[in-house]
Amino acid sequence: MQFDRVDRKALRSAYRMEEGACVAERLQEAADVTRLHPRSRDLAAQLIEGARRQSSDGLDDFLNS
């Protein structure tokens, strides 16, 4: 297993960042993922409803539905 070298200057800069700026940056980074939540929730609901409509014998049936 090979790891990328840590950019210590970037790490130090992030560690010392003002809290408000750090939070704003993290929120911006999370925005794309946050947009996917409703679609993920809807897909999960569809999968669960489909599994409930079928008679299932356990986890394997659920995972294969």
Whole-angstrom distance, CA of residue 27 vs CA of residue 5: 26
Reported as a single tens digit per residue, the pLDDT across 12-62 is 888 898 989 988 988 888 888 888 888 888 888 898 888 778 766 666 666
pTM of the model: 0.41
Residues contacting residue 51 through CB under 8 Å, at least 6 positions apart: 61, 62, 65
Average pLDDT over residues 1-21: 85
pLDDT of residue 2: 76
Q: Are 18 and 32 in contact (CB under 8 A)?
A: no
58: left (phi over 0), alpha (psi -120 to 50) or beta: left
